[in-house]
Copies of this chain bind each other. A is one copy, B any other.
């Protein structure tokens, strides 16, 4: 499995996912700004992975703060965290990671700046290492939903590349494969950036897990024809009532699964939850540039001057989600109760 991101020689190495599967190329980030750009331009993507990148980016940024004053360090670190959180608005993990890093800084107000920098760096590494463990746990926890022989539809990439490693939705699929279950994955190509055909098909083929690609428009047909046993996706943010933001197209898969009586599962770590958010309507949906839709590899797909609208995510209402698989176990509807039980009673 390719590592998604690593720290080496005081630089952050990111596998440039825009170039996969054609080229395996490391993008070397030497500054906080490099990391923010890599996230914004989706050299690295996937909610847990950009959480890790945010943490590492802040660790990298912190090293450039030239001061011995805790207060100055803290102020500049908070400003870096603010900038980082703006890189992409939808995924909860960005904010989660930034806030975890801030907590380290704020808890060390008695320490000298060099010690804080070391602690911050250590925390970012532990977020990465822990993410892989979490994914493996999610994989184990989801096993019970996978029949011994199953055709599984997934969307976009919620794999090793979308996380620190192993994957959330693909983590469950990997765990099922490792447990000897006979799984065949159908992945839709996931326009506009084709994460399904480029990244998910690539990851699964590397591990000899059977995979077939379809266009995004064909998923309903396959469900109608009873060719799909279950759907499983990742998530970018989950509100306190279970409404889930994920890659554009997830909502329609969930509706089609419901209509065709097929279970629809979401696999996500606790860092993807936003327990302060009442429901999905409050999740900001990133709109990306029209050029992602209207051109491909330098080819304009439509007429000169064609207009496009490019929302990057959508919201799947909780009522369409059969269960949410986390590292701490399975959440079942009604989610308001099960999420409150997990995060405490002050959930809105």
Contact = CB atoms under 8 A, between A and B. Distances in A.
A194 interface: yes
Contact of A303 (B21, B217, B299, B301): B21
Given A191-B191, A255-B256, A302-B202, A248 B215 contact: yes
A252 interface: yes
A310 B192 contact: no
A231 B211 CA distance: 33
A198 interface: yes
B296 A220 contact: no
Interface in A173-221: 186, 188-192, 194, 197-198, 201-202, 205, 210-221
A217 B197 contact: no
B205 A303 contact: yes
A308 interface: yes
Contacts of A299: 296-297
Number of copies: 2
Chain A, interface residues (CB within 8 Å), range = 35 or more
A192 B215 contact: yes
B248 A221 contact: yes
A220 B300 CA distance: 25
A198 B205 CA distance: 32
A293 B248 contact: no
Given A189-B191, A220-B252, A252-B256, A21 B302 contact: yes
Given A194-B302, A213-B294, A252-B252, 15 more contacts: A186-B309, A189-B191, A192-B215, A201-B302, A202-B303, A205-B303, A205-B306, A210-B307, A213-B308, A215-B310, A217-B252, A218-B249, A296-B296, A296-B297, A297-B299
24 contacts: A21-B302, A191-B216, A198-B301, A202-B302, A202-B303, A205-B306, A212-B308, A213-B308, A214-B293, A214-B310, A217-B247, A218-B249, A218-B311, A220-B255, A220-B314, A221-B252, A221-B311, A224-B251, A224-B315, A252-B256, A255-B256, A259-B259, A296-B299, A297-B299
Interface of A: 21-22, 186, 188-192, 194, 197-198, 201-202, 205, 210-222, 224, 247-249, 251-252, 255-256, 259, 293-294, 296-297, 299-311, 314-315
